[in-house]
Amino acid sequence: MSNRATTPDVLARWLTAQSKDVRHHKLLLLSERDGLREKVAGELRGILRDHYVSPAITAKRLAELGAPKTAELLKAHIPKTKTARSGDLGEILATEIAERLMKFRVPIRRLRWKDGRNMALRGDDIVAVARASATSLKFLKGESKSRANLNSAAVEEACESLDRDGGRPSRHSVLFVAERLRERGEDALARELESAVLQSFRSAIVEHLLFAVSGNNPETHLNDHLTACKKKRVRHAVGVHIKDHVAFIKNMYSKL
């Protein structure tokens, strides 16, 4: 169900990965390779752009309006505030890692439907799916946190969000995805999502993603959380350590 081409992956080139099991949960820690950021910066900005405006729309605008006007229209989607940019970047990285490294599919790029560029979207940050069997789906419900200094309070806040709705994805979030899929003709997957909602996800496997991108090393906070987590449902804790978190976000967005 992956929608990625088999090309050398930008995240694998940019980030090193360490993984381990914590009881029946999963911990994945990622950090930047020395000297690689500038080599992949253009690709990373391309990913950011695609999360705000689809490549198909961008291609049409380039053909009809030219590059300067296309860039001007893109800026109408890009958040201006530091908080909004940080939150969006966290959700974008969580989405890309869920797809590229965890082998789920995130069918909808939610940021394309924001009511305002500085506003946070309601609902689950991540709704991803994978094939559990020929007739059933596995859902990944994700919550993303982006912090210059990750602390236990932010981890607990993410945990509370994951535990809402009995730990299942929110019906509204899944139906939003299903309706967008219907609009672009992916009726088979949309029908499976709608069926899962009607059955209150009883026939589906649901796993959790607690995602953090932070300026401090997230390992201790995430490992402690998983060690203490008594939930039967599998929880993936994924941390991306970017030492100059604030400067990195500023650099990424200033050149979009």
Give percent above pLDDT 90 in the chain: 89
- Tell me the residue ranges of DSSP E strands in 33-187: 126-131, 137-147
Instruction: For 81-112, write each residue's pLDDT tens digit.
Output: 999 999 999 999 999 999 999 999 999 999 99
Mean pLDDT of 172-196: 97
Residue 117 has pLDDT above 90, yes or no: no
Q: Does the CA dihedral 10-139-128-159 come out positive or negative?
A: negative
Q: What is the pLDDT of residue 207?
A: 97
Lowest-confidence region among 21-30, 127-136, 173-182, 243-252: 127-136
Mean pLDDT for 183-200 is: 97
How confident is the model at residue 122, as a pLDDT?
A: 83
Reported confidence tier of residue 8, pLDDT bands at 50, 70, 90: low
Are residues 143 and 162 in contact, defined by beta-carbon separation less than 8 angstroms? yes
Angle, helices 82-100 vs 37-52, to 10°: value is 100
